[in-house]
Every structure is written in C-alpha cells, then in structure tokens.
C-alpha cells in the first residue's frame, strides 16, 4: 500500500465505542456528588465541548477552579469505570472495520481516553488487529485532541508500524471520523479531513457548526470519507 489510499482515524468514545449510557450515568452520578442537578442527554449534547472544563463552564456559568476540576474529573472517571462494562461497539462497527481492512486500506484509533485503559478495551473486543496504530491520551485529561492528532499522524507518516505493516499515511488523504467538534478541529489542525457522527456527544446542530460533513451512521461516515479523500 502506498500513500494514495484513504486512511481513517477513528475516534473511540461515542464513535466506535457506544458509551453514551455510561457517559450520562457517570455525568449525573458525579453531578450528584457535587450537589448539581442531573442533566438530560439532549442538554448534554447541546452543551458538551472540549476542552471539558469549558463544558462545566456552560453548566455552572463560570470555569471551575483547578481544585473543582480535579474533583469533577475524578468523580466522572470513577463512575464511568463502573458503567463502562455494559457498553458495546456501535452498531455495524465490526463489519465496517473488517471491510475497510480487507479492501487493503489502513485505519487507526486516536482517543482522548487514557492510553493504558484504551488498549485492553480495544483488545477485549477482538478488533486490535484491524488498526495500524491505537493511541489513547497520555498526560492530564480535559484538553483538546489537536496536538495528539499531529503526533498520531506524524507517527503514521513516518512509515510502517502496527498491525499489518501499513505504508506511510498522508494527512491530506486522511479522514478523521468522530462525534465531537474537537475531532474536526484536530483534523484541520493536522492537515486532515473530518466527518462527524451524530451518535455520540454532540447534537447535529452543534456538529454542523464545524463546517464538515455530518452523518447519522458510521456506514455513511465511511462512504463520505471515501468521497472526500478520493
């Protein structure tokens, strides 16, 4: 494989991994600990943004202090870990990943989920071999994906790596598929394209503001990815 084929960078949470119920359960459980009222999924999708402290600013009317952010972040991740085992891959995801790989194309994962937690989770679903690279967040949580995306694509552009020994990836022929506006911003920052999926953290209206294609299924996302990076 040369550098002329479309490469897909998949987001994990809310995209390949359908964890909406876990996110909402963890969010409201954390809110209860902080004496905040629960939030509906619709409201969450209207307000959610990255960096995550800005999401809390929209809820609280002010940015949380550093101490408050640490409490909120710890509470969310503790409750999320309890809800996560009930979550599964998004509908049709396994078939799409298999088909893309069997067509001789490459794909990878870049997530803001902690790297040490992400790897065994991907492996547990039996899909690790579908990807030439799987990168989770290293360092503190709460930030943007942009610099992570630059590093991810730089590693892919450097040459063969990961499962299958895929050849170098060209950012200009790369499409990021994710569920958040930050995925589109990160793609643009790294010189790649993006397609946004409505099945995760954002409302369609908020995704549309990113100025990239917005779709309702992962199958549509793959179809659009093929077209825009052709």
- Reported as a pLDDT band with limits 50, 70 and 90, residue 121 is very high
More confident residue, 64 or 102: 102
Q: Are 108 and 158 contacting, i.e. CB atoms less than 8 angstroms apart?
A: no
Longest dimension (CA), the chain: 55
Structure tokens at 106: 């490459």
pLDDT, position 114: 92
* Residue the block writes with tokens 């569920």: 179
Among 92, 122, 121, 125, CA closest to 217: 92
The pLDDT of 101-126, averaged and rounded, is 96
The pLDDT of 39-52, averaged and rounded, is 90
Give the pLDDT confidence of 153-204 residue by residue, as tens digits: 999 988 654 444 445 799 999 999 999 999 999 999 999 999 999 999 899 9
> What angle separates helix 20-33 from helix 66-83, to the nearest 10 degrees?
130
Supply the DSSP symbol for 85.
G
Q: What is the 3-state secondary structure (H, E, C) of 164-179?
A: CCECCCCHHHEEEEEC
Region at 14 (left for phi over 0; alpha for psi -120 to 50; beta for the rest): left
* Residue the block writes with tokens 């509470």: 75
Q: Are 149 and 192 contacting, i.e. CB atoms less than 8 angstroms apart?
A: yes
Record the pTM: 0.90
With b meaning 16 or more CB within 10 Å and e meaning fewer, what string describes 55-93? bbeebeeeebeeeebeebbebbbebbeebbeebebbeeb
């Amino acid at each position: 494989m040369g550098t002329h084929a479309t490469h897909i960078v998949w987001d994990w949470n809310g995209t390949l991994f359908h964890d909406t119920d876990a996110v909402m359960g963890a969010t409201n459980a954390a809110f209860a600990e902080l004496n905040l009222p629960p939030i509906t999924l619709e409201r969450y999708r209207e307000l959610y943004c990255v960096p995550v402290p800005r999401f809390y600013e929209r809820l609280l009317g002010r940015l949380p202090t550093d101490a408050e952010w640490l409490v909120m972040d710890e509470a969310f991740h503790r409750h999320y870990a309890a809800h996560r085992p009930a979550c599964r891959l998004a509908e049709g995801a396994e078939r799409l990943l298999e088909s893309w790989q069997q067509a001789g194309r490459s794909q990878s994962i870049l997530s803001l989920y902690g790297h040490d937690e992400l790897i065994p989770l991907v492996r547990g679903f039996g899909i690790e071999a579908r990807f030439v690279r799987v990168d989770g967040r290293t360092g503190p949580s709460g930030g943007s994906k942009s610099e992570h995306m630059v590093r991810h694509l730089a590693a892919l552009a450097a040459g063969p790596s990961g499962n299958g020994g895929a050849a170098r990836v060209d950012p200009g022929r790369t499409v990021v598929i994710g569920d958040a506006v930050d995925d589109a911003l990160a793609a643009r920052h790294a010189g790649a394209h993006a397609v946004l999926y409505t099945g995760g953290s954002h409302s369609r209206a908020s995704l549309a503001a990113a100025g990239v294609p917005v779709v309702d299924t992962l199958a549509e996302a793959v179809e659009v990815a093929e077209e825009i990076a052709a």
